[in-house]
Every structure is written in structure tokens, then in C-alpha cells.
Structure 1
């Protein structure tokens, strides 16, 4: 009788954890599935970077454009014009007039740039298998839906954690909060997001 009671207690104790684990797996799969259906994305963003050493914040804004599988344009429009474009194996720096002014050093063959572009596309496509190779990924909350990534090697990446919150039901990213290893924080809020719409020529 005592053994049966203890067994029941163990089942009741761990059952919620098993249900949550199953729910977490389902949610991550749903996020990835939705992301696979995104062929293009065009969004505005507002970025606030808080530097722990100086206790100050810097605000900037701009535009992010993505086309599956390997095209991305990240440009700052305020308070300065800057950014970069990735088009497959080609990377370009954006000039003050928002045009592609010069290839970045050695293009995307540079190990650092290749690692950066690989990480950006894993984030954009929410490729869980790719993300889990470099991060511990878990669901932070279901309402609102948010996931948190902990890099397996924070010293190499310079990132302690990254939280991504999604809009529902389309599962587009609403905002990202990046906590750097040295204490700085960057928050990026996305708005006016359009998915799977035709993109203007010349963006990449």
C-alpha cells in the first residue's frame, strides 16, 4: 500500500513536467513549421542598446528585409545610414545613400562573416536543428509565446542569452532581447511586418 502511494506521488509529481516537455516540443515544432512558410519578410525595427558600463542607451531604427533561403538586408535609417546586404555568397556594405557601395572584406568567405550570416539565417528561418547545435533552446512562456536561447559557448559568441517573443497566430518575431556576456543589452522591436509579399528589385 505504501509502495503504491509513493508510486502515485512520483507520477503526480512528474506528470506536469512530462506534459510541459511535450507542449514545449510541440510549440517549438509549430514555430519552425510557420517559419518554413515564410518566403519573404519586410519589417521596420526599433533598436535600443543599453551599455552597462556607462548606464546609457542608444536608440536607432531601420528596416529588415529577408528572402528565403539566403538573402537578407539589414539597414539602419535613423540616426545614421548604415547596414549590410547578404545575397548568397556575396556580402555588401550599405552606404549613406542606402546603395551597395563595396563588397565587405573577402565577401562571405571570411570565417567571421560566414559565421554571422549562418547565425542570422538560422534565426530568421528559426531552424531549430541548426539553433540547437549552438544553443540550448527552450520555451520561456506560452502566452505570450517566447523562447530563450543560451549559447553553448557564450565566450565565443559574446551572447549570454537571447529571448524571442512571437505574435500569434502567424508566429512572426515581435521582439528580440539580447543579453551580452559583458552585461550590455540590446532590444529590437519589429513592427509593420509584411510576409510573403513581392519585394522591390535591387534590395539585394
Structure 2
């Protein structure tokens, strides 16, 4: 079970390795403005719900593994990922615990007992809200193209690096919200999550986090 939990958590923190045409490194002044805009937007996000499509790329497979579902976030850190296709599997981050429902089989993990779980939990919430610019935890670089801004995060923690080699967040230039999350694993495999049909600040029924 623990192996599967780690796998799913890694999958949640991630977005795809995408090669953008005419990608340019941002200047220091552009980075300051971008980070300020993201933080201002994230402060206004009280709730967020979105559909997602996840693509898991494995070198030994000719086709990416595709799954889909719905994600719900309530500030500051209440989070549910509900996979609906091709299987039913949900994870809730709530009150320092990770609640897992694997097609009716329920279990829980205390985040406080695992440094790695705690960091991954912070990454997930940060990737959703866009508020994860922590220079103490990551070496961060910033890039831009015609339509998006890309922030790349390399963990400084040696233990975390065993699971996550690099994280990429892709932000829409118009509303400065995350539209894609990517995780590059210690191997060259990666997971890409595309967020779509976002709804901001709608009322969320708290019962969905009971899992």
C-alpha cells in the first residue's frame, strides 16, 4: 500500500515535460512582477475545483497511461484528488492526515510521521494555489513563451530528490493560474497533469473531504 501511495502522491505533484517553442529565460524584473502577480491571485483563491487529465509517461511503453478525474481545493490546504477513470481512487489531505479510498478500501497516513509526505503535501497544495516560491526548498528558474510562463523547481532536499527530480508549473499568462503541473522522476519517466474547466470561489460541500 505504501508504495502505491508514494506513486500516487508523486503523480499528483506533477506536470509534463513539454518543449515550448521560442522559450526564453525571464529577467529579474520580470520574475519579481510574475511572483507578485501569482501571490496576489493565490490570495484571492478561497476554493477551486477543476477537472484534470493525467498522462503518465514510461519509457518502456509506446503510449502514455491516461487517467482523469476531479480536484477540489479549499484554502489554505484542504485538498481532494478524485480519480474517476479508469479506476475509482481518491486522496484527501486533511488535518495533517492523508485519507485514501481505494475503491472502498480506506486507510490513513499521518503526514507528521513522514518528512517526505509533509513536503509532498506542501508541494501539492502549492502547485494548486501557485504559491510555492520557496527558495530554501528549491532551486527555481523562470521561463516564458508567447502564451505561458513556466517555473521549474529542483528540490534541494536529498531525500526528496530520490522521488522528484524536477517539477514544472505552467501558468496561463492571462490569469496567472496554474494550467499544467509536471513531475520528472529520478528516472526519465514523468507525469503530466492538465487542469481544465476551473471554477474559482464556488461553495464547496465539506462532506466531500470525509473520503
Question: Distance in 2 between the 1:70 and 1:176 partners?
Answer: 17
Could you give the per-residue CA deviations for residues 167-202 of structure 1, whole angstroms, max 9, x where no partner exists? 243222111222212110111111111111111231
Report if the CA contact (8 A) 1:41-1:66 is conserved.
Answer: yes
TM-score (norm 1): 0.79
How far did 1:142 drift?
A: 5.2
Q: What is the correspondence of 1:1-204 to structure 2 with a 5 Å cutoff?
A: 20-96=27-103, 102-105=106-109, 107-111=110-114, 112-129=116-133, 131-141=134-144, 143=146, 144-153=148-157, 156-157=160-161, 158-204=163-209
Structure 1 residues not aligned, in runs of 5+: 1-18
Report if the CA contact (8 A) 1:72-1:86 is conserved.
Answer: yes
Across the aligned residues of Structure 1 and Structure 2, the Cα RMSD in angstroms comes to 2.2
Comparing 163-172 with 79-88, greater Cα deviation is found at 163-172
Name which one, 1 or 2, has greater alpha-carbon Rg. Answer: 1
Aligned to 2:15: none
TM-score (norm 2): 0.76
Q: Say if 1:162 and 1:115 are closer, same or farther in 2 by CA, change over 3 A.
A: closer
Report if the CA contact (8 A) 2:165-2:184 is conserved.
Answer: yes
Question: Distance in 2 between the 1:192 and 1:152 partners?
Answer: 33
